Structure formats: C-alpha cells, structure tokens
Amino acid sequence: MTTALDLLADGVVLAGGDGRVTAVNAAAAGWLGVDASAAVGSPLGDVLALQDHEGRDWCSLNCPYDGLPTRTAVPEQSWLLPDGTEVLVVAKLHRSSLDRPVEQVAVSIRSGRGRARLDRERSDLVATVAHELRSPLTGVKGFVQALLNRWDKLTDEQRKLMLTTVASDSDRLSRLIAELLDVARIDTGRLQLYPRPVDPTVLVQRVADSVSAGTSRPIELTVLAPVPEVTVDPDKFTQVVTNLVENAVRHGEGSVAVRLEPAEHAPDVPGVRLVVEDEGEGISPEIRRRVFTKFWTGGKSGGSGLGLYLVNGLVRAHDGTVVIGDAAGGGARIEVLLPASAPHE
C-alpha cells in the first residue's frame, strides 16, 4: 500500500523513542536495501546502514537520543550507502518539551548528485578564474624578467613597448579582480552605487577610444543628440559599456557599431538607450536567457564568462533593462535602456 511518505522523492526513516524504526518509505528502502515492512520494529542502527569514509556508522557517530535537551536536529552530512553511493543525510529530533527525552527521530536521505554538481561548478569556477588571471600575469612576469635581464641591451623604444604591455596587463588583472568582487556583491545584494549626474556621451566616447586603441577592429560610435544627463555611478556605467564593446569585439567579425540616443525608459520617464551591434554569428533566441548567467561562454573566443552577467546586474541595479536581439547585419544586438533619474536604493 502506497503511503504519503512513499510519494516523497527523498528517503525517510522514522524511529520512536525506544530507538526502533516505525516507518521506512519506498525511496529509503531502495537505497538502504531493506524491506520496508520488515524493517519496522528493527533497531534504527540496523536499518540505517550508512557509513562514512572511515567506516563509522551514522547512529554511533551522531547519537540521536543523547546530548543536550536543547538539541533538536542533526545537521546535513555526507554518508555512503551500502553500495558506495554518496547521499546527504539530515535528521530532526522531536521532543514534547525540552525536559523530555527524544520521542521521535525523523531521518531524511537525499541524493548527493546535487552536491557533486555544485562541487564541479566550483572547480570550474576556480579553473576559469585561474586561467583568466594566469594569462596577463604570465605577460607581466615575462616582460619584467626581460627588462631586468636585458635592460642595457634594449633600446628606449623596446623598453617603452614592454612597459606599456605590462601596464595594460596589470589593468586587465585589476579589472578581472574588480569584476569578481562585483559578482560577489551582486550575488549577496551588497552592491553599492555612488550615482551622480554625468554626461553619458563623454563616458561612451572614452570607452570607444580606449577599446579602439587595443584592437584593429573599427568601432563606429554614433550619438543622436540631444542625449540627456543620467544619474548613474560613472564607474559602473563605464564598466557596462566596456564589457559590451569588448564582448562585441571578441565575438564579432568586422566593425562594431555603438549608438547612444535619447529614449523614454518608461512613459514620461526620460532616459538613454545604448545599442551595441557586432557582425558575428549572433545569439540564438533559445540561449539568450543563459547569456546573463555566471560563467556562460559562447563561441570560440572564450573569456571569463562574467561580462554579460555583470552588465545585467549593474544595469538592473540602476533600474534599467538589457535586451538581446539581432543586428541588421546578422550579428548580436544588445540594447541597454537606463532612466535619467537616480536608481532606487
């Protein structure tokens, strides 16, 4: 007979105050390799055949019926089933009052695949960050070593070129570290903005000139006046524009078109629209939602996978919106709409 416990995806084992099992659902019976009806009345330690990597069993290690009267639960722990599969186990200890002994123990068992997936994602994060940090750091170390070893043999022009490259790679390292910190602040809701009225044309022009200096790809900036002032954090706004333009350079082919124009953020709410278009393969509609997730990378050019996640987070923090579409030439078109007023706290 199917009970309500059998409908649960997690395994459940219940035991009374005498330490004997009162119920085992179908999921737990399958994982533990026991017969659910036959297990009723057996000692909890015999039914809960779980061991850690040192061969200790769950009951003797956690002693659910002992301890302080204020103890109400056993925190989640990783344990091994008889066949070696990893599961996550948590227990609730029930008392009628704090001065009474434990009257019922409810043990919940669930698959450890989610934890394993999270561990893999963390490993991927470490590998991605390590790769992105190592690339410019290798350049800095190489040029500094060359300058130290061959200073007298190098011309002034060669020294200047090496030092310029070191400065560029150092800026890249600083930006990556700042991006990682901003990702953490966005995730925890601790991102701080320091908005003030600025001319967006000046900031966008500065970014376009800076990126143009580091690439052979033409960047065409169009400003449709009159563009109103916007009350934004200038550093964060510059970060948004830089990530969009560099992303277009990295993933597109040919020229990059940047357009800044006045727009209504909402009815009767003045604002600005920033549009960045490339001539690459574009972003298909079915993956556009995933583009704004952390460490998403597409195409062959790689990258940290943080750029568009930060763009979306920073724009939303300014009460703006980001929309992905198709450029006229077939590439990607990313549109940012920002209100001219200050963002809400």
Question: How do residues 100-122 score in pLDDT, each as one tens digit?
Answer: 899 999 999 998 776 666 667 66
CA angle 336, 341, 343 (to 5 degrees): 75
> Distance (Å, rounded) from C-alpha 309 to C-alpha 231?
22
Q: Which residues of the chain are under the pLDDT cut of 50?
A: none
Q: Which pLDDT does position 201 carry in this prediction?
A: 94
Answer whether 207's CB lies under 8 Å from 174's CB.
no
For 36-84, what is each residue's pLDDT tens digit? 999 999 999 999 989 988 888 999 999 999 988 888 999 988 888 888 8
Task: Give domain limits for the chain.
Answer: 5-111, 116-188, 196-339
Cis peptide before 43 (omega within 30 of 0): no
| The predicted structure's pLDDT at residue 215 | 82
Q: Give how far the C-alpha of residue 14 lies from the chain's centroid of Cα atoms, to the nearest Å.
A: 37
User: What pLDDT shows up at residue 135?
Assistant: 79
- CA dist 147 and 133 (Å) reads 22
CATH code reported for the domain at 116-188:
1.10.287.130
Question: What architecture (CATH level 2) is domain 196-339?
Answer: 2-Layer Sandwich (3.30)
Give the Cα separation of 222 and 204 in Å (integer).
10
CA distance 283 to 298: 9
pTM here is: 0.61
Question: What's the pLDDT score for residue 301?
Answer: 55
pLDDT in the model for residue 210: 87
Query: 5-111, which class in CATH?
Result: alpha beta
What pLDDT shows up at residue 205? 95
Taking each helix axis as running N to C, give the angle between helix 113-150 and helix 156-188, from 0 to 180 degrees, rounded to the nearest 10: 160
